[in-house]
Amino acid sequence: MTDLETRIARLSPEKRALLTLRLKKKGQAAVSPPAIPHRESSGSLPLSFAQQRLWFLDQLEPGNPVYNLPAAIRLAGKLDIQALKASLEEIFRRHAILRTTFIEREGVPLQEVSPDSPFSLLVEDLSCLPPLERETRAQEEMTSETRVGFDLAKGPLIRGASCVWARRSMSCC
């Protein structure tokens, strides 16, 4: 990075916007913020403060699901399970943080990115159940899944499940 690029990168967003506006008035190219460099996912890295907190609490009470962040999405219409699974696998492949686990070396917690962890989508077909029972069963499955903790050292630290039935579906992640 040149000296000028470094100086521009250190500007506040407001000052950068003002500089861009002035350059446009002069007919010059706008200033774009420097791109975040891609980091190779080899080796271990220190934990962020939030990761340290999560790791510490997991040491006190391993597998406690209190920090799980459940999310449910109701979809109406036909759901292409294979397309959903392929989409989630691609997101998982592209984002290293989703493949990150916490290891400990000489008493120091570190984050380690797995290069090729597969994403698993559990699919349960509820189409054989009566309509009211489908809804109840889907809610029970979602509630049950949120009570299962994660193994921070083993991973993955994300999982997905989908409860489907004819013409309607509910995905629980």
How many residues belong to the chain? 173
What is the CATH number for 150? 3.30.559.10
Mark whether 20 and 54 lie in a shared domain. Answer: no
Amino acid at 57: L
Per the structure, the complete domain to which residue 145 belongs is given by 44-63+71-172
CA dihedral 148, 143, 145, 56 (to 10 degrees): -30
Lowest mean pLDDT among 7-11, 25-29, 127-131: 25-29
Cβ–Cβ < 8 Å for 47, 107:
no
Residue 139 has pLDDT above 80, yes or no: yes
Instruction: With a cut of 60, say whether residue 29 has pLDDT above it.
Output: yes
Q: For residue 101, what pLDDT band results from cuts at 50, 70 and 90?
A: very high
CA 135 from centroid of its chain's CA atoms: 27
Q: 57-77: per-residue pLDDT in tens?
A: 999 999 999 888 888 888 888
Query: Do 48 and 30 fall into the same domain?
Result: no
What are the counts of helices (DSSP H) followed by strands (DSSP E) for the chain? Answer: 5, 7
pLDDT at 111 over 80: yes
Token reading at 93: 């492949």
Residues 10 and 55 in one domain: no
Q: Is the pLDDT of residue 90 over 70?
A: yes
**Beta-strand (E) ranges in 1-153?**
44-46, 72-76, 100-105, 108-113, 121-125
pLDDT band of residue 105 (cuts 50, 70, 90) is very high
152 pLDDT more than 90: yes
Answer yes or no: do 32 and 82 share one domain. Answer: no
How much is the mean pLDDT over the chain? 83
- If one compares 163 and 130, the residue with the highest pLDDT of the two is 130
Structure tokens that stand for 9 in this block: 């990168």
Please give the average per-residue pLDDT across 23-51, as a whole number. Answer: 75
Counting residues of the chain whose pLDDT is more than 70, the rounded percentage is 86
Predicted pLDDT of residue 100: 92
CA angle 28, 30, 32 (to 5 degrees): 150
